[in-house]
Chain A
Amino acid sequence: MTKYTDQGKKDTRSGFGAGMTELGRTNPNVVALCADLVGSLKIETFIDENPERFFQVGIAEANMMGIAAGLTIGGKIPFATTFANFATGRVYDQIRQSIAYSHKNVKICASHAGVTLGEDGATHQILEDIGLMKMLPGMTVINPCDFNQTKAATIAIAEHHGPVYLRFGRPKVANFTPVDQEFEIGKAVLLNEGTDVTIVATGHLVWEALLAAENLENQGISCEIINIHTIKPLDEKAILDSIGKTGCIVTAEEHNFLGGLGESVARTLALHQPTPQEFVATQDTFGESGTPDQLMEKYGLNNKAIEAAVLKVLKRK
């Protein structure tokens, strides 16, 4: 199995901040907005270096989305930043009308996605955001897996014309992808070739998938692992090519199984190649307070859950 090394745990939100710092230095049209969460979004350096290109909107996310839409009229590339819950569900209609339907070049950048923000509990732990955003026509949805990839994705979306939802998180997770990677929107990354089962994971569950695959290899099971950082548009070819070899699939995401990556994959399979699939995702539930590790365990999102899903799907081949 291809060996991946954790270069040291880091939070993906800091990868976003690092990407913003670079964009501040390289793209004069990039502007940032934040709704009273500058420290949490790690954009202090961007603000220090480009104070005239930052807009503090206060605790007013609806207004932030509208202002971001307006800033595009005049050629700016606004990055509207807050927690995932407040960046999506709270302002769905503003995003729908002023950004998506109006096809504005706004980058909605959302930290603290999923249960792993931890102790703050379910009011802040959105598990529905991928579904909400992918349902909007023309919206690109990206959920990178680690610090390096989040930085690369942040830089890449500035070059993409159109609305983007970029999702990342609070906990420190393994940082294992290359420092200076190319980030191609909509292009899956094949991390390990295998023959028995395909694991398609997004976000920091990609690392959990790698851990699961190591354990499974010891049991004589060969896993093909695909990092789907872009949920929409979905790299259907990568998925179909892989299941052509393996004949079964497990999807893994920190999101409700309704509306998430797993459903997008299931649609692809139903249309092109019906295939047994198991879903590692939350089971139509809200989260709760706890440490990230405890929550990953309780809600079935860690490498053990992926391993169990693989063993289950193999029996359905």
Chain B
Amino acid sequence: MATISELEELVVQVRRDILRMVHKVNSGHPGGSLGCTEFFVTLYNEIMDLKEGFDMDGDGEDVFFLSNGHISPVFYSVLARRGYFPLEELHTFRLINSRLQGHPTTHEGLPGIRVASGSLGQGMSVALGAALAKKLNKDDHLVYSLHGDGELQEGQNWEAIMFAAAHKVDNLIATVDRNGQQIDGPTEKVMPLGDVPEKFRAFGWDVLEIENGNDLGQVIEGLKEAKRRTGKGRPVCIVMTTMMGNGVDFMMHTHAWHGKAPNDEQLETALAQNPETLGDY
């Protein structure tokens, strides 16, 4: 178990990784990545029970699925810093012949990735399947998943949400990143999602909320509480409010940085706001 200050240091370093990765290739999705940095750092370093090394089946350990695959920069950084693959490989993000594809994939054999994601709305179904497999295998470890809020506009999610409650998939913790933003603007303007927690509750889920998903203490406590609620006959949902672009002042309070990389000057400003802690890759 890490201390809060150790996790804080890791959060800042992951932010730097995200910014440097997308800057180098002038593409990628920094906004949502920065918004979910505290969540990823906490999940992989404080919450999940993980084996050494990586195998596809994930028997005897917790497994995680990223449904909104475009926030691959934060996923790659946290996986690399957790030891799944060499940190230097972050240099290859989005480059030709790289295992670090624009959106995560199993195709190049990158350790830590169990399914391709990017085309939205598919991750919850996959997580459900993995959770059912764990039950069949009498493996009492948990399945975690992360979903963008805009992604809930895809109908497949609601098929999955309905199924999860009906089949009592209570070894799944699905987190919704409620940053309220999507490519074309605020979610409530593009296609209103309304009361997301109430919708999950109406479908039979046990729902808890993290009011500030960029507060490490709240994220840790929220994920621990979610774990306590598993195994009780209902799937567990965390609706986590985050700030897209968190940690970089000019990337916050806007959807503009959903899929846009900073230029040289902007990178310098952003990195200055997040001084190096554990060492850049």
**Residues of A that sit less than 8 Å from B by CB:** 31, 52-53, 55, 57-58, 60, 62-76, 78, 93-94, 96-98, 101-104
Q: Count the A-B residue pairs with Cβ separation under 8 angstroms: how many?
A: 120
> B161's closest neighbor in chain A, by CB?
A63
> B65's closest neighbor in chain A, by CB?
A70
Interface string of B100-134 (1 = CB under 8 A from A): 00000111000000111111001111111111111
CB–CB A60/B163 < 8 A: yes
Pick from B59, B122, B133: contact of A94, CB below 8 A: B122
Contact residues in A for B105 (Cβ distance below 8 Å): 101-102
Let me know if B56 is at the binding interface, CB within 8 A: yes
Q: Contacts A73-B115, A101-B116, A102-B116 known; A94 to B130 CB distance under 8 Å?
A: no
Contact residues in B for A66 (Cβ distance below 8 Å): 122-126, 128-129, 156, 160
Interface string of B165-176 (1 = CB under 8 A from A): 011000000000
CB–CB A97/B162 < 8 A: no
Pick from B63, B125, B162: contact of A65, CB below 8 A: B125
CB–CB B159/A102 < 8 A: no
CB–CB B129/A71 < 8 A: yes
Let me know if B155 is at the binding interface, CB within 8 A: yes
CA distance A98 to B115 in the complex (A): 6
Let me know if B8 is at the binding interface, CB within 8 A: no
Q: Contacts A102-B105, A103-B107 known; A97 to B118 CB distance under 8 Å?
A: yes
Q: Within the complex, what minimum Cβ distance (angstroms) separates A162 from chain B?
A: 13
Contact residues in A for B106 (Cβ distance below 8 Å): 101-103
CA distance A93 to B156 in the complex (A): 11
What are 11 residue pairs bridging A and B, where the CB atoms are less than 8 Å apart in the complex?
A57-B159, A58-B162, A62-B155, A62-B156, A68-B129, A69-B125, A70-B130, A71-B130, A97-B118, A98-B115, A98-B122
Contact residues in B for A57 (Cβ distance below 8 Å): 159, 163
Pick from A63, A70, A102: contact of B133, CB below 8 A: A70
CB–CB A98/B125 < 8 A: yes
CB–CB A67/B125 < 8 A: yes
9 more A-B residue pairs beyond the given contacts A63-B128, A73-B57, with a C-beta to C-beta distance below 8 A: A58-B159, A62-B155, A66-B126, A70-B132, A73-B129, A74-B130, A75-B137, A93-B122, A94-B156
Contact residues in A for B132 (Cβ distance below 8 Å): 55, 67, 70-71
Task: Please report which residues of chain B, range 196-219, place their CB below 8 angstroms from some CB of chain A when the two chains form the complex.
Answer: none
Let me know if B259 is at the binding interface, CB within 8 A: no
CB–CB B56/A73 < 8 A: yes
> B126's closest neighbor in chain A, by CB?
A70
CA distance A78 to B116 in the complex (A): 18
Pick from A52, A60, A67, A96: contact of B129, CB below 8 A: A67
